Structure 1
Amino acid sequence: MGLRRKNRTEERAGAVVTSPMPSARTGDWAVELRGVRRQYGRGAGAVHALAGIDLALPRGSFTAVMGPSGSGKSTFLQCAAGLDRASSGTVHLGGTEITGMSENKLTALRRTRLGFVFQAFNLLPSLTVEQNVVLPMRLAGRRPDRRKAAEILARVGLGDKGGRRPGELSGGQQQRVAIARALITEPDVIFADEPTGALDTTTATEILGLLRSAVDMMGATVVMVTHDPSAAAYADRVLFLADGSIVDRLEHASAAQIAARMTALTAPAYATVAA
């Protein structure tokens, strides 16, 4: 595959920044948000889902996003991935500004340069595993690469399942297919929304190990929204949202440390949060 593992120790040490770094160019980051706000409605009834997000995430890194219910996690992911438009501010993915892109260009970018892994798998039941994996290539107008699909399926432990239908697989196996599909185009970023939410603990551990391996061994960049401290512990860093803002972060933290920080966020000071 074209993705290569790189030594990113120095990058990860200062991975998340909350203000522009003079020595860093926009193209240096996999994900960059500057002054991103998302407001729904107007006047007294307006909801400020994101209240000014400033961050930059390096290529080849794994970031988890957590926060109380209604803190803005889903809105953050949707705006960062171009699935929703920010009310103000700028979003760059892989050095490309997507803020003012037309819907057609955004759709093309998502098909070729982004990967998605969702809690519900979102596989097409009428297609085989292999056909699901190469679907992003077909949608982008590229010739499906069966050899590459076979290689990725082998990487996720499904080398002998290419001809099966999703309905013949377990939930964990279906999520492995979703990860393979996300990797097939060698995307700038993989966005994962509660990827282990529908899985048992053992299977969830396997899936998180695959995402971690995609970062460490293949140079992928993963941004994952999760409510589970054990899942977040697989990440290089955890960002904590409250009231639509990034209020804290942890680097290389344990599940216990992450859980303790989440408990603090649900204390009375953060009891009332934005939708």
Structure 2
Amino acid sequence: MRLRKTTRDRDTGPAVELRGVSRRYGRGSGAVHALRGIDLTLERGTFTAVMGPSGSGKSTFLQCAAGLDRPTSGSVRLGGTEITGMSESKLTALRRSRLGFVFQSFNLLPSLTVEQNVLLPMRLAGRRSGQADAAGMLARVGLGEHARRRPGQLSGGQQQRVAIARALVTRPDVVFADEPTGALDTGTAAEVLGLLRQAVDGMGATVVMVTHDPAAAAWADRVLFLADGVIADSLHGATAARIADRMTALTAGAHGPHATVTAGAAA
């Protein structure tokens, strides 16, 4: 089933823009520089994977880009809207209406039905209707017949499908996915990644995914590699094997911590 794609006429330009984004935790000699001046533009309708060694800044990058954490310096724009100086109440409203989130642990409410979980972002955003959108989105992810069930009655892969439907139901500017296949077996992971890929190709969604798995990253249009808080490298349309080789080299220190390249450049 193909759902009608909607857009916001007021929004133009890239889906995500980071300019000089740094994030420091603590002060003085004990300060931790999680991000060091990230400059990045992600166009609409693209699928970007973010990888890097442990402590490279992946989680901080995702949190700052999604407005879940505030950078120490620099600016973040989402869907043409500057969010860096937003009040917490306005930022919460923006996240509810214009962003989607998919997490490793699904984060579904066990007391709600599948349909109610999918409808939750619309209800939180103050939209009174939405059953037709929820039904259509559940059909898109292959769970139309499970609308009345509760998450505990579904497999892990089915629960992640519900989470993807929930993330997409508001037609968000960006979907942020944090290790969405980390709790799934290989076959189920491929099905979930295929749904994210279809959301980009069929709905014009923009997906930003943090992952440690080269096979998952290979579904993306572009892979960004973080190291020591900077973008150390990028690959376009790469195979899992090539991504794994680059990660191995990065982890082994083949790239210096500040040997940055332009994020949009082909490797």
What TM-score, normalized by structure 1, do the two folds share? 0.89
In 1, distance between residues paired with 2:194 and 2:151?
A: 21
What amino acid is aligned across from residue 222 of structure 2 in structure 1? R
Instruction: Give yes or no for contact 2:50–2:223 (8 Å, CA) kept in 1.
Output: yes
Instruction: Give yes or no for contact 1:3–1:220 (8 Å, CA) kept in 2.
Output: no
Matched, 1:189 2:191: no
Where structure 2 has 5 or more consecutive residues not aligned to the other structure, the ranges are: 259-267
Q: Pick the aligned partner of 2:49 from 64, 69, 91.
A: 64
Identity %: 77
**Counterpart in 1 of 2:264?**
none
**Counterpart in 2 of 1:223?**
208
Cα shift at 1:269: 4.9
Alignment of 1:247-262 (within 5 A): 247-262=232-247
Matched, 1:79 2:59: no
In 2, distance between residues paired with 1:40 and 1:27?
A: 33
Q: Pick the aligned partner of 1:3 from 2, 5, 25.
A: 5
What amino acid is aligned across from residue 86 of structure 2 in structure 1? M
In 2, distance between residues paired with 1:58 and 1:40?
A: 29
RMSD value, Cα: 1.6
SS at match of 2:202: helix
Matched, 1:90 2:62: no
**Counterpart in 1 of 2:36?**
51
In 2, distance between residues paired with 1:184 and 1:35?
A: 32
**Counterpart in 2 of 1:135?**
120
Q: Deviations over 1:15-40 (max 9, x none)?
A: xxxxxxxxxxx941000000000000
Matched, 1:169 2:171: no
Q: Deviations over 1:217-254 (max 9, x none)?
A: 01000000000000000000000000000010000000
Instruction: Give yes or no for contact 1:2–1:186 (8 Å, CA) kept in 2.
Output: no
Q: Pick the aligned partner of 2:86 from 95, 101, 124.
A: 101
In 2, distance between residues paired with 1:186 and 1:69?
A: 32
In 1, distance between residues paired with 2:210 and 2:241?
A: 18
Q: Pick the aligned partner of 1:236 from 199, 215, 221.
A: 221
What amino acid is aligned across from residue 82 of structure 2 in structure 1? E
Q: Deviations over 1:250-271 (max 9, x none)?
A: 0000000000000010114569
Where structure 1 has 5 or more consecutive residues not aligned to the other structure, the ranges are: 6-25
What TM-score, normalized by structure 2, do the two folds share? 0.92
Cα shift at 1:61: 0.3
Inter-CA distance 268–240: structure 2 relative to 1 (3 Å threshold): closer
Q: Pick the aligned partner of 1:202 from 187, 190, 198.
A: 187
SS at match of 2:167: helix
Q: Pick the aligned partner of 1:39 from 19, 24, 27.
A: 24
In 2, distance between residues paired with 1:82 and 1:2?
A: 28
SS at match of 1:117: strand
4+ residue runs of structure 1 moved beyond 4 angstroms?
Answer: 269-273
Cα shift at 1:148: 1.0
SS at match of 2:16: strand
In 1, distance between residues paired with 2:254 and 2:149?
A: 51
What amino acid is aligned across from residue 187 of structure 1 in structure 2? P
In 1, distance between residues paired with 2:110 and 2:256?
A: 41
SS at match of 2:234: strand
In 2, distance between residues paired with 1:234 and 1:251?
A: 11
SS at match of 2:145: coil
Paired residue total: 253
